[in-house]
Structures are given as C-alpha cells and as structure tokens.
C-alpha cells in the first residue's frame, strides 16, 4: 500500500516538473520573439500581451513584464470561482514564468525586413505557445477568460479569443498605421499555424470512410497491407434501404495514396470519404494494429 502511494506521489511530482518545464521553455520562446522582434519593430500582439504592448508603447516607462502580470490579476481573481483549480494554478505559474522570461530573455534578433520579422516572430511565438498548451495549464491571459466564459455561458473558446484579438487590432489601428497592423496580422496568422503544428504534431492523420459491396476484401487489405485497424459499422442506403457495411479507418497522409490504390483495385465503384483529423489519441481495443 505504501509502495503504491509512493509511486503515485513520484508520478505526480514528475508530471508537475514536466508541466513547469513546458511552461518555462514555451515562455522563453515567446519572450524571445517579444523582446527580439515585436518591441523593436513596434508590432502589436494578440491577447493580454497585445494590451500590455499597446500600453507600453504609450508609456515606455512601464515594462511589459509588469503590465502583463497586473492585467492578469483580475482574470485570475474571476477565474478562481469559475475555472478548475489545477488549470488555474498551472496557469498562474505560467503567467509568472512568462513575465520573468520577458524580463530576462532579451536577445536582439537582427531582421530588418518587416515581413520576415513578422514571419520569424510568428514561428517563435507559435512554437512557444504550442509548447505551453502541451502542459496542463496556460500562460494566463485570454485563456482564463475563454475557459470562464465557456463554463458560464457556453461561449466557444475560439470565439472569445477572436473577439478579444479583434478589439486589440482595432485599438492598434487607432495608434499605428495600417501597414504595421497588417504586419501584425501576418505574425498572428503564422503564430496560429505553428501552434496547430506543435500541438497536433507533424503526423496529422486522415480519417477514411468507405462504403463498398466488397467491404470484406477491403477490410482485409487495410489490416494486412496498410497495417492499420479498421472498424466495421452497420448502415443502410437512404434510397434503396438495403443494408450496407461501412468501413472506418484512420491512417497517415503518406498511407492515403496506397489505400486509394488498393480500393480502386478491389472495387472501383466504392464510395470513399477522406477527412482531416484534429487529433488521434490511443489505439484500438484488442490485438488490432495501432491507429
């Protein structure tokens, strides 16, 4: 009993250290982009960081790191009653680590071209934000607000972030020229793409749905040739009413061409639908191959 409790405690300690490491590394990358590119080029930024930057540009004596922490105080105060405590505590640690990183990580990045600067800032920030999202917390800011509004009013997380970012960009339009705001839009877009890449990984899967009278042969080919699991579902034709077998499998992008070739060979009349997947976790139950 004691051994089990000790093992559980060690596992929790390792998990905590790993989460804090992810928060620290991600915050360092975001701070590198902020101090090395965003501030020298006077770009704006999404979220609470963007608000802190706008205030700093108007009042240079106020450091971004301190402004970020101060702006997060009311969000954490509200989140204490509406957000899970573990997420909130990790996010508090993330906000502190980010503020410390902004104060410490100050390496100049010599990129004169503003478009290239926006692209590089997006890559660094998106990578850092993606690493942070792989932890069990966040770096504070609009993440706390988004989770709170979702739980209280069922407002989608993306809707909150989009609305907040639109407001920040609108404020930036009042303070800067349109060209600077457009560079910021490039930065935000690249950052969002990098977040998706880091969070979902480089091996995004394809979900394939197949309707065929020769379903048994196709099922066997998927298992034997592609080495992937497949699920057989019952269906019926909407017009004919005849029973149908529907195959569902998840494969890598590299395997898609081979699968389509196999299906064409076995049943050229097969109905096939290929869709992107956001994320695939786990494996099939039993002795089937991994997804």
DSSP β-bridge partners for residue 271: 211
Q: What tokens appear for 223 in the block? A: 């298992």
pLDDT of residue 123: 93
Per-residue pLDDT of 91-149, as tens digits, reads 888 888 889 999 998 888 888 899 999 999 999 998 988 888 777 777 777 777 777 77
pLDDT of residue 291: 47
From the list 91, 93, 52, the residue with the least C-alpha distance to 71 is 52
- 0.85 exceeded by pTM: no
Which pairs from 275-278 meet CB under 8 Å and 24+ separation?
Answer: 275/206, 275/207, 275/208, 275/209, 276/204, 276/206, 276/207, 277/204, 277/205, 277/206, 277/207, 277/250, 278/200
Per-residue pLDDT of 159-215, as tens digits, reads 777 787 888 888 888 888 888 889 988 998 898 888 877 866 655 688 999 999 899
What is residue 239's DSSP assignment?
Answer: T
More confident residue, 277 or 262: 262
Query: Which structural domains are found in the chain, ordered by start?
Result: 2-200 (no CATH), 205-276 (3.30.70.120)
pLDDT of residue 33: 93
Query: What mean pLDDT is reported for the chain?
Result: 83
From the list 170, 191, 244, 256, the residue with the least C-alpha distance to 213 is 244
Q: At what angle do helices 157-175 and 178-200 cross, to 10 degrees?
A: 150
Distance CA 159, CA 166 (A): 11
Sheet strands side by side (includes 205-211): 231-236, 243-252, 205-211, 271-276
Binning the chain into helix, strand and coil, the percentages to the nearest 5 are: 65, 10, 25
Per-residue pLDDT of 206-230, as tens digits, reads 899 999 989 999 999 899 888 888 9
């Amino acid at each position: 009993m004691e051994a089990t409790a000790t093992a559980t405690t060690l596992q929790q300690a390792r998990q905590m250290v790993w989460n804090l490491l992810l928060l620290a590394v991600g915050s360092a990358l975001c701070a590198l982009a902020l101090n090395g590119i965003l501030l020298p080029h006077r770009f704006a930024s999404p979220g609470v960081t963007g608000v802190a930057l706008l205030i700093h540009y108007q009042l240079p004596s106020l450091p971004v790191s301190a402004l970020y922490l101060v702006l997060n105080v009311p969000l954490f105060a509200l989140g204490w009653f509406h957000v899970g405590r573990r997420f909130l505590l990790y996010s508090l640690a993330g906000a502190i680590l980010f503020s410390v990183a902004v104060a410490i990580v100050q390496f100049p990045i010599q990129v004169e071209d503003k478009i290239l600067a926006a692209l590089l800032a997006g890559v660094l920030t998106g990578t850092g934000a993606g690493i942070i999202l792989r932890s069990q917390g966040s770096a504070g800011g609009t993440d706390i607000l988004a989770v709170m509004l979702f739980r209280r009013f069922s407002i989608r997380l993306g809707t909150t972030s989009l609305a907040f970012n639109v407001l920040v960009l609108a404020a930036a339009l009042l303070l800067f020229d349109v060209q600077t705001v457009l560079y910021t839009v490039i930065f935000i877009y690249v950052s969002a793409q990098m977040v998706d890449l880091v969070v979902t990984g480089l091996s995004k899967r394809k979900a394939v749905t197949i309707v065929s009278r020769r379903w048994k042969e196709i099922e066997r080919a998927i298992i034997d040739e592609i080495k992937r699991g497949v699920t057989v579902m019952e269906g019926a034709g909407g017009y004919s009413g005849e029973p149908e077998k529907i195959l569902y499998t998840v494969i890598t992008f590299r395997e898609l061409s081979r699968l389509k070739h196999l299906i064409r060979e076995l049943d050229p009349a097969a109905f096939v639908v290929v869709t992107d997947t956001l994320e695939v976790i786990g494996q099939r139950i039993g002795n089937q191959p991994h997804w």
